[in-house]
């Protein structure tokens, strides 16, 4: 939300959110280094980075982790 940049994450329903973002090369977040430590969170703040794409249908957010 901080960058206001958005991307649709798409892929096989069994693919994890993290893998889909890395494999599909949809990285459009100019203010976030793709290689930095980050997680994807659902609307409740739960880490869904390694969950399959069919686990959550909504707006997810990238959260930068302190290094």
Q: What is the CA radius of gyration of the chain?
A: 11
Delimit the domains of the chain by residue range. 17-64
Q: Would you say the pTM of this structure is higher than 0.85?
A: no
* Chain segment 3-19, per-residue pLDDT in tens: 677 888 888 899 999 88
Closest alpha carbon to 61 in 33, 35, 29, 30: 29
The band of 21, judged by pLDDT with boundaries at 50, 70 and 90, is confident
Interior CA angle at 46 toward 37 and 32, to 5°?
30
């Amino acid at each position: 939300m901080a960058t206001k940049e958005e991307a649709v994450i798409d892929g096989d329903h069994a693919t994890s959110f993290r893998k889909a973002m890395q494999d599909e090369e949809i990285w459009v977040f100019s203010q976030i280094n793709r290689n930095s430590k980050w997680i994807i969170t659902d609307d409740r703040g739960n880490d869904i980075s390694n969950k399959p794409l069919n686990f959550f249908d909504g707006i997810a957010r990238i959260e930068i982790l302190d290094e």
